[in-house]
Structure 1
Amino acid sequence: MKILSTDVAVIGGGTAGLAAYRNAKAAGARAVIIEDHTWGTTCARVGCMPSKLLIAAAEAAYEVGHTAAFGVHIDGTVRIEGREVMDRVKRERDRFVGFVLRGVDNIPAEDKVEGRARFVDKTTLEVDGHTRVQATRVVIATGSSPNVPETFRPLGDRLVVNDDVFAWDDLPASVAVFGPGVIGLELAQALHRLGVRVRVFGHSVHLGPLTDPAIREYATASFAAEFPLHTEAQIHGVEREGDRVRISWAGAQGETVTEHFDYLLAATGRRPNVAALGLEHTGVALDARGVPVFDPRTLQCGDSPIFIAGDANNILPLLHEAADEGKTAGENAARWPSVRPGLRRAPIAVVFSDPQIAMVGERFADLEPETFVTGEVSFEDQGRSRVMLKNRGLMHVYADKASGRFVGAEWIGPRAENIAHLLAWAYQQELTIAQMLDMPFYHPVIEEGLRTALRDAAAKLAA
């Protein structure tokens, strides 16, 4: 067995792991990075980028089919070639993956170890029986995987997760989506707009990441008007029949409704990849999920020389958060035992549905009711939104009663991804509602809707 000694061993070659390795090296430490599956990032391979490629195709199809209201009439029908759609998705996806792999190729060969790492003791790792890595500090950056209920397993190849969607050569005729979270919502709407018969099932009122009941109710009604959406479905049965999936559920009057689908897409959350790491040999405390208990500021696990970053710790499973956490974990591993809090930017989340959903700052569910006021705006009569026929949406901004500071927002509406950045910058700079209203708002733009919500919050603060 090969013996390899180093200062820092990083487990995982994704966004967080690559950032941890590079920053540990930049801080002057010797470092190796271990990957057991595929080098590169979840985002580029099966996450952010391929999903946005599919969504872009869906948006193109939808826009072409909805021009009549502008007086623009297209003769004939919109023809969607599923093979061409998926060919572009995969070609462009592979380009994005290639960019990541070029960075991996620049890592010296002696710093890369391929295989599954498992702790032998607190900082010693055995990799597939061929290499023993003797480190003094370890960064766990093993990412996450789709969490699939065991009851779906008998469906065999009729069961898919989001990773599988981007391996399709053609679009299927029908898909049942279980889980109206971020992934399920984005993929369901995209597939629907590309001509796939879709039905979405959930088991609670939750939709996407929303916690504000009014915004969630508006969003649910908006999406349910476009495709079948059951956020509180009572499922009677899920089983395979030949090459199809048979699903039965309670209808509006309590009757049993049954439909058949080509696939069941399980968008039922993700779980940290930590189960096979041999964490029982490290002495670190584990939570109920089997994830090491860690300090979210420093990413250190207890007082040990072990750090955990990215989707593996499941704080905010987003690429920019994984990159920031990788930097923090890598730097702290290099300087251990002298660790310090890393950068924590303003919380920001976007769902690339239509209308888009966004959240910035504190969530509605995490605020004490008596401490804040809510400013509201509907985008249904907002000028620029109506001009573009994108006038669906409702926004809530939250302001602290005592200080007048902007503390968060949840909304659904047009171009939310852009407005979200304005609000994230305002939150990170701890601006008050009054200071935000002193900023320029051009006319006519969708951001004027934000100004309306801020003015409503200001009036409530004054009262």
Structure 2
Amino acid sequence: MKTVQIDVAIIGAGSAGLPAYRAAKAAGASVILIEGGPHGTTCARVGCMPSKLLIAAGEAAHAASRTAPFGVHIDGSIRIDGREVMQRVKSERDRLVGFVLESVEAIPAHEKLTGYARFIDDGLLQIGDHTRVRARSIVIATGSSPVIPQMYQALGDRAIINDDVFAWSDLPRKIAVVGAGVIGIELGQALAHLGVDVTILGARGRVGPLSDPDIKAYAEKTFSNSFRFEPRAEVEAVERLTDSVQIRFRADSGKLIEESFDYVLVTAGRKPNSDRLELKNTSLTLDLHGNPVFDPLTLQAGTHPVFIAGDANGILPIQHEASDEGRAAGTNAARFPNVVPQIRRAPLVIVFSDPGIAMVGARHADLVPESFVTGEVSFEDQGRSRLMLRNRGLMHIYVDKATRLFLGAEWMGPDAEHIAHLLSWALQMKLTVDSMLEMPFYHPVIEEGLRTALRDSVAALKASS
């Protein structure tokens, strides 16, 4: 068996691992990149990119179905060809994955290994049955996998995860989505817009990432117009039939419902991919789930030269965060023991729904009561939104009473993804609400709704003083 001596070994060649590789090399270290699964990153293969392709198809169908109020009439029915929809999703997905594969192929052969890595001891890895790697520092960037609760595992291929959706050749007739988080909401609504009969079964009233009770209630009501939405459902039993699944659940009303579906799409969260690493062979401190305990600022596991980046650490399972963490982990691994905390960007979460959902900065649930005021705007009568008949939405922004600093926002509304970037920049620049109101606002644009919310927060500050 071959043995390789290296400065930095990076386990995983995804959204965190590839930036970690580049950062470690840029810091002057010798590096080897190890990957046992498919290349191409979760984002490109089965995550953010193919999901946005499916969402784009759903948006096209939805837009075509609501032209009549503009005086634009489509004579006859709108025909959705599920095979054509999925063919475009897969072909464009494959094109995007190809770009990632090209970057991996450009890595010199002696700097990458194929095979699953496992720890022999603290600094020694075995890759498959062919190579051992002795590394001065190690970056764990192995990503995460969907969680499938035990009750759904007996359903065989009728219980699917988001990865499976993008392997379809056609659209199903009827589907149940278990979980009302970001993935469940995005895929569920996209499929509903494409003519699939969709039921989303959430738990404990969750609606995407939202924590503000008023915004959450608004979003729940709005989504109920797109698909059957049961955000407080209690699934009591599931049964595999010949070519379908029967689910018995209790709705929030207390009514017991039994219904069959072609598939159950399980979006019940994700877990770090640490099972294959055999971390028990190390002296790392592990948590109750067998994952390394680490510093969320430096990403370092205790005092060891081991760093956990991306979905593998479960802090912020978002692509741009994984990339940032990969760079930080790669740099710290190369420069160990000179480890520095990562400077994080403003928190930013976007749900690509219709209307969109976004959260910037502090969550409502995490703010100290009485320390802030809330500015509000409804998009239902907002000028540009109404002109385009996209006038659905409610926004709350949070402003610190003492400093007048913008703290965060939660909302549902048109073009939420774009307004979210404006607010994340304002937060990262530590702007006060007064400074934000000094910025230009064109007329007529949806962003004027943001200005209304900012003005409302100033009025709330005045009333609270």
**C-alpha separation in 2, matches of 1:211 and 1:80:** 35
> Alpha-carbon deviation of 1:289?
2.8
The answer for the alignment partner of 1:116 in structure 2 is: 116
Q: How many residues are treated as equivalent by the alignment? A: 463
The answer for the alignment partner of 1:381 in structure 2 is: 381
> Alpha-carbon deviation of 1:236?
2.8
Contact 1:324–1:343 (CA under 8 A) maintained in structure 2: no
The answer for the alignment partner of 1:412 in structure 2 is: 412
**C-alpha separation in 2, matches of 1:222 and 1:288:** 39
> Alpha-carbon deviation of 1:277?
0.8
**C-alpha separation in 1, matches of 2:137 and 2:111:** 15
What letter corresponds to residue 320 of structure 2 in structure 1? H
**Equivalent residue runs for 1:127-206 within 5 Å:** 127-206=127-206
> Alpha-carbon deviation of 1:288?
2.7
What letter corresponds to residue 430 of structure 1 in structure 2? K
Q: Deviations over 1:140-163 (max 9, x none)?
A: 000000011011011001010000
**C-alpha separation in 1, matches of 2:416 and 2:70:** 23
> Alpha-carbon deviation of 1:39?
1.4
Match of 2:329, SS state, is helix
**C-alpha separation in 1, matches of 2:335 and 2:255:** 63
The answer for the alignment partner of 2:82 in structure 1 is: 82
Match of 1:6, SS state, is strand
What letter corresponds to residue 333 of structure 2 in structure 1? A
User: What value does the CA root-mean-square deviation take over the aligned residues?
Assistant: 1.0
> Alpha-carbon deviation of 1:252?
6.5
**C-alpha separation in 1, matches of 2:87 and 2:195:** 17
What letter corresponds to residue 406 of structure 2 in structure 1? F
Match of 1:21, SS state, is helix
The answer for the alignment partner of 2:250 in structure 1 is: 250
**Equivalent residue runs for 1:267-306 within 5 Å:** 267-306=267-306
> Alpha-carbon deviation of 1:253?
5.7
> Alpha-carbon deviation of 1:343?
2.7
**C-alpha separation in 2, matches of 1:399 and 1:202:** 31
The answer for the alignment partner of 1:28 in structure 2 is: 28
Q: Which runs of 5+ in 1 are unaligned?
A: none
Q: Deviations over 1:210-261 (max 9, x none)?
A: 0111100100010012210001112232111111000122356644322111
> Alpha-carbon deviation of 1:203?
1.6
**Equivalent residue runs for 1:227-266 within 5 Å:** 227-251=227-251, 254-266=254-266
Q: Deviations over 1:182-234 (max 9, x none)?
A: 00000000001101111010121111000111100100010012210001112
* Range moving further from structure 2, 251-260 or 341-350: 251-260
> Alpha-carbon deviation of 1:276?
2.0
Find out whether 1:440 has 2:456 as its counterpart: no
Q: Does the C-alpha gap of structure 1 residues 252 and 136 become closer, same or farther in structure 2, counting only changes over 3 Å?
A: closer
The answer for the alignment partner of 2:451 in structure 1 is: 451
The answer for the alignment partner of 2:392 in structure 1 is: 392
> Alpha-carbon deviation of 1:287?
2.1
Match of 1:135, SS state, is strand
**C-alpha separation in 1, matches of 2:253 and 2:364:** 33
Match of 2:280, SS state, is helix
Q: Which runs of 5+ in 2 are unaligned?
A: none
What letter corresponds to residue 297 of structure 1 in structure 2? L
What letter corresponds to residue 439 of structure 1 in structure 2? M
**C-alpha separation in 2, matches of 1:349 and 1:334:** 30
**C-alpha separation in 2, matches of 1:22 and 1:63:** 42
Match of 1:10, SS state, is strand
Match of 1:392, SS state, is coil
The answer for the alignment partner of 1:98 in structure 2 is: 98
The answer for the alignment partner of 1:40 in structure 2 is: 40
The answer for the alignment partner of 1:16 in structure 2 is: 16
**C-alpha separation in 2, matches of 1:29 and 1:255:** 62
**C-alpha separation in 1, matches of 2:41 and 2:257:** 40
> Alpha-carbon deviation of 1:327?
0.4
Identity %, equivalent residues? 61
Contact 1:175–1:264 (CA under 8 A) maintained in structure 2: yes
Contact 2:158–2:262 (CA under 8 A) maintained in structure 1: yes
| TM-score, reference length from structure 1 | 0.99
The answer for the alignment partner of 2:430 in structure 1 is: 430
**C-alpha separation in 2, matches of 1:176 and 1:408:** 33
> Alpha-carbon deviation of 1:275?
2.1
Q: Kindly report structure 1 stretches of 4+ aligned residues shifted beyond 3 Å.
A: 251-255
Match of 1:369, SS state, is coil
Q: Does the C-alpha gap of structure 1 residues 313 and 252 become closer, same or farther in structure 2, counting only changes over 3 Å?
A: closer
* Range moving further from structure 2, 157-166 or 255-264: 255-264
What letter corresponds to residue 183 of structure 2 in structure 1? I
Q: Deviations over 1:360-383 (max 9, x none)?
A: 011111110121111011100100
Contact 2:232–2:252 (CA under 8 A) maintained in structure 1: no
The answer for the alignment partner of 1:73 in structure 2 is: 73
Q: Does the C-alpha gap of structure 1 residues 126 and 204 become closer, same or farther in structure 2, counting only changes over 3 Å?
A: same
What letter corresponds to residue 332 of structure 1 in structure 2? N
